[in-house]
A = this chain, B = another copy of it.
Amino acid sequence: MTAESFIILLYILVLASYVGFELINKVPPTLHTPLMSGSNAISGITIVGAIIACNVLNYGAISKWLGMIALILATINVVGGYALTDRMLKMFKKK
């Protein structure tokens, strides 16, 4: 990775982190768990990495297997995470 593209990625990291900090300020306790669960699902974004990994790697190689395991795990995280969050939130229907 070049220093230049690294610095650009750093910009993105800093700004995104700042956005993350600002996003959450007052959350009612009832939403703590759903929020945690929902953002956990987002952290399953590694799935994109896993797919890319699976793609470029050669069959039979360790890396390929690792990639496929990663993909399964990430998919569980993403799909399970979103479904669970939604189930939880359904119960919050107001009034």
Contact = CB atoms under 8 A, between A and B. Distances in A.
Interface of A: 5, 8, 11-12, 15-16, 18-19, 22-23
A11 to B, nearest CB: 5
Contacts of A19: 15, 18-19, 22
As for how many copies of this chain the complex holds, the number is: 2
Contact of A8 (B12, B16, B18): B12
A11 B12 CA distance: 7
Contact of A22 (B5, B8, B12, B23): B23
Nearest to A17: B15
A22 B20 CA distance: 11
Nearest to A13: B15
